[in-house]
Amino acid sequence: MAGEFMTLPNARRFALTDATLPAVLVKGFSGPAREGLIQADIVIADGRIERILPAGAAPAEIVKADMRGGMAWPCFVDMHTHLDKAHFWDRRPNPDGTFMGALENVRADRIANWSAEDIRARFEFSLKSAYAHGTRLIRTHLDSIPPQPDISFPLFAELREEWKDRIALQAVALLPLECVLEPAIFDGIVATTKRYGGLLGGATRILPDFERILDTLFRAAADNGLDVDLHADETEDRQVLTLEAIAEAKLRNRFEGSVTVGHCCSLARQDEETARRVIGKVAEAGISVVSLPMCNMYLQDRHAGATPRWRGVTLFHELTAAGVKTAVASDNTRDPFYAYGDMDPVEVFREAVRILHLDHPLDTSARVVTATPAEILGRPEIGVIAEGAPADLVLFSARRWSEFLSRPQADRIVMRNGMGIDRRLPDYRDLDPLMEK
Ligand SMILES: [Zn+2]
């Protein structure tokens, strides 16, 4: 493609030579690392990675594409998104950028506009962008206030099937947690979630009977073989710390499924002792944490006329050090919760490095948009570079971290099954008919 930094050979078997790989993402090969980066030649045959060899060791007779030190990454994983909400900013923006403004305007737009046709157009726009940027696996939350699940889940199942060779999709029912104690509503949502192979989720806040809500939720998940993915404590309010209750509930119910929590912003507002205690329980419960740095920076500490004084993100380093699986993801894209975004994990990574200080050293940071979210999502074969795996790679002209993190990497090549894909992004004009509503 025009604008890309090199041309891939049109051959059944070829080698990417002198490539730079983040060592933390390479299985079964290692070499001397500098800032976590190693040099290698990658032999590709029939769409698969045949061999990973020391740089310069590719067989003499093979067709070669010289990377000249450029980085090769596995395809990306975006483990927390909202593709049912995406891309309606122009018809219903957030007038003041606050969390309340987001809630109110998403609600109004959902009631007015969220037919299967409307969601499909915006969801697919996101998938096309994500695919062009190099993403291979996405988990989305789906607003699940009845009757929306009956519209969104069947549509999701159709899209999961249509896109299965390009992007693997998972969906979480984002339900209003107060309805968990109303069997007439909750049982229906659980049944729909199970029918379409989803997960149970919701946004926690301080609610009467919160422990009973969590127990009921975990019991329903266990009874139906469903995993759980919750939005937790997306607030600067210190009084709100549901993360501890979630960890206790998982332990109390001996829940054996996978539990993920997103945001956990208010954890960063606690005193040291409280933070340490809660992190210990999260680690003990084996709960994974995904941080959404771009959305948190946008929504948290926003007060009219005032400059924000904190970054909004959770205690990422402390959770990681305690043995908690941690990752970062996009979250919202061009909706009232976040005015921007393009489903580009390179942007998410670049911003995460800056907001969360994932640098100095950067040695293992590449895992946060690749290997770790793939593991959390139960797809550990994705997000790594390994012999025998499909040649699903993202190739960059950038050779070192400072080069990688200083430009948007718009000239990257996305390789799927050993072949470069068309990386053209969808045109915003395609969404114009939806914005006239
Ligand atoms: Zn979210």
- Chain centroid, CA 231 distance in Å: 13
| Ligand 1 (single-atom ion) residues, CB below 5 Å | 331
The rounded Å distance from CA 141 to ligand 1 centre is: 7
Please compute, for residue 425, the number of CA atoms within 13 A of its CA located in the half-sphere on the CB side: 14
Q: What pLDDT does residue 4 have?
A: 84
- What's the rounded Cα separation, in Å, for the pair 423 and 157? 25
Asked if the domains 13-73+384-420 and 76-376 are classified in one and the same CATH topology, the answer is no
Residue 361: asked if its preceding bond is cis (omega within 30°), the reply is yes
- Chain centroid, CA 304 distance in Å: 30
Q: What pLDDT does residue 1 have?
A: 53
Which active-site residues does the annotation give?
234
Q: Where are the domains of the chain?
A: 13-73+384-420, 76-376
Cα–Cα–Cα angle for 365, 366, 367, nearest 5°?
90
**Residue whose entry in the numeric block shows the structure tokens 């309010």:** 237
What would the two tokens of residue 233 be? Answer: 């404590």
CATH topology classification for 13-73+384-420: Urease, subunit C; domain 1 (2.30.40)
* 113: nearest Cα among 140, 84, 142: 84
Amino acid at 103: L
* 401: nearest Cα among 372, 370, 363: 363
Q: Which CATH number fits domain 76-376: 3.30.160.620, 3.40.50.1220, 3.20.20.140, 1.10.1060.10?
A: 3.20.20.140
What would the two tokens of residue 160 be? Answer: 């999961």
Q: What pLDDT does residue 205 have?
A: 81
The rounded Å distance from CA 80 to ligand 1 centre is: 6
The rounded Å distance from CA 167 to ligand 1 centre is: 19
- What's the rounded Cα separation, in Å, for the pair 280 and 146? 36
pLDDT tens for the 437 residues of the chain, in order? 557 899 999 999 999 999 999 999 999 999 999 999 999 999 999 999 999 999 999 999 999 999 999 999 999 999 999 999 999 999 999 999 999 999 999 999 999 999 999 999 999 999 999 999 999 999 999 999 999 999 999 999 999 999 999 999 999 999 999 999 999 999 999 999 999 999 999 999 888 899 999 999 999 999 999 999 999 999 999 999 999 999 999 999 999 999 999 999 999 999 999 999 999 999 999 999 999 999 999 999 999 999 999 999 999 999 999 999 999 999 999 999 999 999 999 999 999 999 999 999 999 999 999 999 999 999 999 999 999 999 999 999 999 999 999 999 999 999 999 999 999 999 999 999 999 86
pTM here is: 0.98
Please compute, for residue 304, the number of CA atoms within 13 A of its CA located in the half-sphere on the CB side: 4
Q: Rg of the Cα trace of the chain?
A: 22
The rounded Å distance from CA 7 to ligand 1 centre is: 38
The rounded Å distance from CA 71 to ligand 1 centre is: 30
Three-class secondary structure assignment of the chain = CCCCCCCCCCCCEEEEEEEEEEHHHEECCCCCCECCEEEEEEEEECCEEEEEEECCCCCCCCEEEECCCCEEEECEEEEEECCCCCCCCCCCCCCCCCHHHHHHHHHHHHHHHCCHHHHHHHHHHHHHHHHHHCEEEEEEEEECCCCHHHHHHHHHHHHHHHCCCCCEEEEEEEECHHHHHCHHHHHHHHHHHHHCCCEEEEECCCCCCHHHHHHHHHHHHHHHCCCEEEEECCCCCCCCCHHHHHHHHHHHCCCCCCEEEEECHHHHHCCHHHHHHHHHHHHHHCCEEEECHHHHHHHCCCCCCCCCCCCCCCCHHHHHHCCCCEEECCECCCECCECCCCCCHHHHHHHHHHHHCCCCCCCCHHHHHCHHHHHHCCCCCCCCEECCCECCEEECCCCCHHHHHHCCCCCCEEEECCEECCCCCCCHHHHHHHHCC
The rounded Å distance from CA 263 to ligand 1 centre is: 8
